[in-house]
C-alpha cells in the first residue's frame, strides 16, 4: 500500500451520445507500483484506450479519479508521457526536432543547451535511432517512427509511461525487435509502464502484471494475472517454458471463453479473431 | 541537394536516353500543337467578325499593336528624360546667375503608358492581396481554433463571401473619400479604393481555408500538444500553423487569382489607374487600333495572372514541409 505509485480508484466514465450517456467504464480499480510494467488486454472497443486516456488526463473520469504519488491528476502533463498507436510525430519536424520539442518544453530552465542536446541524443540512442537524426517521419519506416515516438516519451522522463498499442501497426518481425528493445530499456531505466495490447504473447513477455478487461459497455477489470517469469526474458527460451505457456493459456481462456465476443461488430475483424483463436 | 543533382543529371546529355527524348518531345509537341491550332482558329475566325470598329484583329494585328505600345512607352520615357534634363539645366543656369534664386522642381506629368498601367495594377494587386493575407490568416487561425468564434462569424462570412466587387466599389469609394482626408496624402485615393476593393473580395478564400486547415489538425497532434502542455503561443506556432500550411496556400492561391480579376474590374468601373482603365479608355476611344490594343491587354492580363499563380506555387513549394504534395 505504501509504495503505490499510481492508483485508479472507482474510475467510471460516461460519454454523451445522442441517445443519452454511454457508460464506457464502470468502477475501474487498479494500483500500480513504482517500476511496474502493466499490460491492459481486452477485446476491441472494451475501453482500454479510454482507461489510458483518463490516466493521461486527456479524458475526464465522470466518477472516481487517478492518484499519482498521492496527488490527484486531472489534466495532461509530461510526467505521464504517452506513446500513441500511430506514432503521432509532427510530420514537419525531423527525428531530432521531434524529441527536441518535448525536451525543450520539459527541461526549459533546468538543462543547458548542451545538456539538452546530449539528452536528446541519449534517448534516441536508447531506441537505436541516432542514424536518422535529420530524417523526417515520412522518410523513415513505421517501426522507426514508433521508436522515435518512444524516445520522445522517454525523453520527458515521465513518472508513468503510457503506451496505446505501440506496436499494433507493425509487422511481426519489427514488433519482436521493438519488444526486445523495450525490455532492454525497461531493465535499464525501470520506468513504470502501462501498455495496451491485443497480443497475448506480447503481454506475457513484457509484463509484470496483465490486467484483463471485460467487454463493454460498462467495462471493468475482469482478472489480474501476475507474471512471475524471471528477467531478462528471452522469447525463444520462453517458447517451451511451461510457466509461460500456462500464463498464456490463462489469458487466452479469459479472452476467448469467459469474455467471448458474442456479436461481432465487424465481420472481417471477427474472422481475424477466429483465425487467431484457431492458431492459438 | 538531391534535387540539384537530379537537375544536373537531367542536363547531362550523356544521360539523355531515348525515353528522355521522347518525354521531352511529348512535353513540347502538344503545347506547341495546341498553340498553333489556337492561333489558326483565331486568325480565321477574326476575319469573319465585323465590328463597328472594323474587323476583329487577328494575331498579326495584335502583335503589331504590341510593338506600337512598346514604342509609345519608349517615346514617353525619352520625353520624360528630356524634361528632367531641361529642368536640371534651366535651374542650374538660374542658380549660377543668382545663388539665391528660387528654383522650382516639377514632376514630369506625362500620359501613363500601357507599361506604367501594368506597374500600377501590379502594385495595387500586391498591396490589396497583402492586406487581405495579413487580415485573413490571423483571423482564420483564431476562428479555426475556437468553435464559438466560428459559430459567431460563420454566417457573416457566408454572406459577404459572394458579394461582387462591383457592389463593393461605390461603398468603398464613398467611405474612402469621407474618411481619408489629408492635405498631403501618402497614397492616392484611387489607389486606396482599388486596393480596398481587392482586399474585400480576395479575403474570403484565405480566411475560409485557413479556418478549415486549423480546424482539421489531427487529434493525435492535439493530444501531443496537450501532453507536452505547450502554451497557447507555442501550440499555435509549432502545431497549428504547420498543420494548416497546405490549406492556407490553397486559399492564398485562390485569393490571389480573385484579387487579380477583381482589380481589373474595379479599375475599369472606377476609372482608377491601371490595366482596367487602359481597356476602358481604349473602348471609349474607339479608333481602329482599339480592338487590337484591348486584345493585347487581355493577353497581358492573362499572362500576368498566370505568372502570379506560378509565383505563389513556387512560394508554396518553398514554405511547405510536405514536399510530396502534388501541386498544379
Ligand atoms: N469520445 C467518445 N464518445 C463516445 N463514445 C466513445 C468515445 N470514445 C470511446 N467511446 C466508446 O467507448 C468504448 C471504448 O472505446 P475505446 O476506444 O476505449 O476502446 P478500446 O478498448 O481502446 O478499443 P480498441 O482495442 O479497438 O482500440 C467504445 O464503445 C467506444 O465506442
Ligand atoms: Mg484503443
Rounded to the nearest angstrom, the minimum Cα separation between B172 and chain A is: 42
What residues pack around ion ligand 2 (CB closer than 5 A)?
A 49
Domains belonging to chain B, first-starting first, are 114-323 (1.10.3720.10)
pLDDT tens digit sequence for B270-304 = 888 999 999 999 999 888 888 999 999 999 999 99
Q: Rounded distance, CA A218 to CA A197, Å?
A: 20
Q: Tell me, what's the pLDDT at A224?
A: 93
Q: Rounded distance, CA A261 to CA A218, Å?
A: 15
Q: Which residues of B fall within a CB distance of 8 Å from A80?
A: 227
Q: Which of residues 224-253 of B touch A (CB under 8 A)?
A: 224, 226-230, 234, 238-239, 242
Q: Tell me, what's the pLDDT at A220?
A: 92
Q: Answer yes or no: is the C-beta of A44 below 6 A from any ligand 1 atom.
A: yes
Q: Which residues of A fall within a CB distance of 8 Å from B238?
A: 90, 101
Q: Which of residues 209-228 of B touch A (CB under 8 A)?
A: 218, 220-221, 223-224, 226-228
Q: What ipTM was reported for this prediction?
A: 0.86
Q: Do B221 and A90 lie within an 8 Å CB cutoff?
A: yes
Query: pLDDT truncated to tens, each residue of chain A (280 aa)?
Result: 447 899 999 999 999 999 999 999 999 999 999 999 999 999 988 999 999 999 999 999 999 999 999 899 989 999 999 998 888 899 999 999 999 999 999 999 999 999 999 999 999 998 889 999 999 999 999 889 999 999 999 999 999 999 999 988 888 888 898 899 899 988 888 889 999 998 999 999 999 999 999 987 889 999 999 999 888 899 998 989 999 999 999 999 998 888 887 655 555 555 555 555 555 4
Mean pLDDT, chain B, rounded, equals: 88
Q: Tell me, what's the pLDDT at B309?
A: 94
**Percentages of chain A per state (helix, strand, coil), in multiples of 5:** 40, 25, 35
Give the predicted TM-score (pTM) of the model. 0.83
Q: Tell me, what's the pLDDT at A217?
A: 85
pLDDT category of residue B186 using cuts at 50, 70 and 90: confident
Q: Which one, of A177, A127, A181, lies nearest residue A152 by Cα?
A: A127
Q: Rounded distance, CA B223 to CA B238, Å?
A: 13
Q: Rounded distance, CA A37 to CA A51, Å?
A: 16
Question: Counting atoms of ligand 1 from 1, which one is nearest the CA of A53?
Answer: 18
Rounded to the nearest angstrom, the minimum Cα separation between A35 and chain B is: 21
Q: Do A101 and B238 lie within an 8 Å CB cutoff?
A: yes
Cβ neighbors of B37 (< 8 A, separation 6 or more) are none
**Helical spans, DSSP H, in chain B:** 2-11, 18-48, 59-97, 114-145, 147-160, 165-179, 189-215, 219-227, 232-234, 241-270, 275-285, 290-319
pLDDT tens digit sequence for B105-136 = 888 887 888 999 999 999 999 999 999 999 99
* Nearest ligand to the CA atom of A58: 1
Q: Rounded distance, CA B133 to CA A66, Å?
A: 46
Question: What is the CATH superfamily name and number for domain A30-59+160-279?
Answer: P-loop containing nucleotide triphosphate hydrolases (3.40.50.300)
Among A188-192, B59-63, B97-101, the least confident range? B97-101
| CA dihedral of residues B77, B82, B87, B90 (deg, nearest 10) | 180
Q: Is A84 on the interface with B (CB under 8 A)?
A: yes
3-class DSSP assignment, residue A128: coil
CA of A47 to the centre of ligand 2 (A): 7
Q: Is 80 exceeded by the pLDDT of residue B1?
A: no
Cβ neighbors of A131 (< 8 A, separation 6 or more) are none
Q: Answer yes or no: is the C-beta of A92 below 6 A from any ligand 1 atom.
A: no
Q: Tell me, what's the pLDDT at A272?
A: 57
pLDDT tens digit sequence for B165-174 = 888 899 999 9
Q: Tell me, what's the pLDDT at A268?
A: 57
In chain A, where the domains are located: 30-59+160-279, 80-157
How large is the C-alpha radius of gyration of chain B? 26
Amino acid at each position: 500500500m505504501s509504495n503505490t505509485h499510481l492508483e485508479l480508484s472507482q474510475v467510471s466514465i460516461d460519454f454523451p451520445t445522442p441517445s443519452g450517456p454511454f457508460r464506457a467504464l464502470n468502477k475501474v480499480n487498479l494500483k500500480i507500483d513504482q517500476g511496474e510494467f502493466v499490460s491492459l488486454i481486452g477485446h476491441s472497443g472494451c475501453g482500454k484506450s479510454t482507461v489510458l486516456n483518463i490516466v493521461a488526463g486527456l479524458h475526464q473520469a465522470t466518477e472516481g479519479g487517478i492518484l499519482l504519488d498521492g496527488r490527484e491528476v486531472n489534466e495532461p502533463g509530461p510526467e505521464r508521457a504517452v506513446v500513441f498507436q500511430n506514432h503521432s510525430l509532427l510530420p514537419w519536424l525531423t527525428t531530432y526536432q521531434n524529441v527536441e520539442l518535448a525536451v525543450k518544453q520539459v527541461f526549459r530552465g533546468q538543462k543547458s543547451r548542451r545538456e539538452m542536446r546530449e539528452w536528446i541524443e541519449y534517448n534516441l540512442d536508447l531506441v537505436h535511432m541516432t542514424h536518422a537524426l535529420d530524417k523526417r517521419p515520412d522518410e523513415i519506416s513505421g517501426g522507426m517512427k514508433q521508436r522515435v515516438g518512444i524516445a520522445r516519451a522517454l525523453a520527458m522522463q515521465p513518472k508513468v509511461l503510457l503506451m496505446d498499442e505501440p506496436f499494433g501497426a507493425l509487422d511481426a518481425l519489427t514488433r519482436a525487435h521493438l519488444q526486445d528493445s523495450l525490455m532492454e530499456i525497461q531493465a535499464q531505466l525501470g520506468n513504470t509502464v502501462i501498455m495496451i495490447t491485443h497480443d497475448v504473447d506480447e503481454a506475457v513477455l513484457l509484463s509484470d502484471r496483465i490486467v484483463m478487461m471485460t467487454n463493454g459497455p460498462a467495462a471493468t477489470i475482469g482478472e489480474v494475472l501476475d507474471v512471475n517469469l524471471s528477467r531478462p526474458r528471452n522469447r525463444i527460451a520462453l517458447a517451451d517454458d511451461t510457466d509461460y505457456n500456462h500464463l498464456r493459456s490463462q489469458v487466452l481462456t479469459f479472452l476467448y471463453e469467459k469474455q467471448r465476443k458474442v456479436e461481432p461488430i465487424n465481420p472481417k475483424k471477427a474472422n481475424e479473431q477466429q483465425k487467431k483463436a484457431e492458431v492459438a | 541537394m538531391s534535387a540539384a543533382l537530379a537537375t544536373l543529371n537531367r542536363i547531362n546529355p550523356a544521360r539523355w536516353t531515348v525515353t528522355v527524348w521522347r518525354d521531352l518531345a511529348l512535353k513540347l509537341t502538344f503545347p506547341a500543337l495546341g498553340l498553333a491550332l489556337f492561333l489558326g482558329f483565331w486568325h480565321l475566325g477574326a476575319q469573319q467578325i465585323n465590328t463597328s470598329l472594323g474587323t476583329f484583329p487577328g494575331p498579326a494585328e495584335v502583335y503589331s499593336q504590341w510593338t506600337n505600345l512598346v514604342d509609345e512607352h519608349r517615346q514617353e520615357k525619352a520625353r520624360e528624360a528630356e524634361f528632367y534634363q531641361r529642368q536640371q539645366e534651366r535651374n542650374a543656369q538660374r542658380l549660377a546667375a543668382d545663388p539665391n534664386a528660387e528654383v522650382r522642381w516639377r514632376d514630369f506629368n506625362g500620359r501613363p503608358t500601357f507599361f506604367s498601367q501594368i506597374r500600377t495594377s501590379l502594385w495595387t494587386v500586391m498591396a490589396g492581396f497583402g492586406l487581405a493575407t495579413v487580415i485573413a490568416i490571423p483571423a482564420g487561425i483564431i476562428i479555426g481554433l475556437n468553435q464559438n468564434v466560428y459559430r459567431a462569424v460563420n454566417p457573416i462570412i457566408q454572406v459577404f463571401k459572394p458579394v461582387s466587387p462591383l457592389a463593393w466599389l461605390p461603398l468603398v469609394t464613398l467611405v474612402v473619400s469621407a474618411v481619408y482626408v489629408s492635405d498631403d496624402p501618402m497614397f492616392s485615393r484611387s489607389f486606396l479604393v482599388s486596393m480596398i476593393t481587392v482586399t474585400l473580395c480576395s479575403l474570403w478564400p484565405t480566411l475560409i481555408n485557413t479556418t478549415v486547415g486549423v480546424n482539421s489538425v489531427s487529434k493525435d497532434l492535439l493530444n501531443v500538444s496537450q501532453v507536452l502542455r505547450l502554451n497557447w503561443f507555442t501550440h499555435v506556432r509549432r502545431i497549428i500553423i504547420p498543420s494548416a500550411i497546405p490549406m492556407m496556400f490553397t486559399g492564398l492561391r485562390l485569393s490571389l487569382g480573385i484579387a487579380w480579376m477583381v482589380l481589373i474590374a474595379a479599375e475599369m468601373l472606377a476609372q482608377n489607374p491601371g490595366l482596367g482603365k487602359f481597356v476602358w479608355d481604349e473602348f471609349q476611344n474607339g479608333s481602329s487600333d482599339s480592338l487590337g490594343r484591348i486584345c493585347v491587354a487581355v493577353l497581358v492580363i492573362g499572362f500576368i495572372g498566370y505568372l502570379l499563380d506560378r509565383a505563389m506555387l513556387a512560394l508554396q513549394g518553398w514554405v511547405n514541409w510536405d514536399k510530396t504534395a502534388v501541386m498544379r
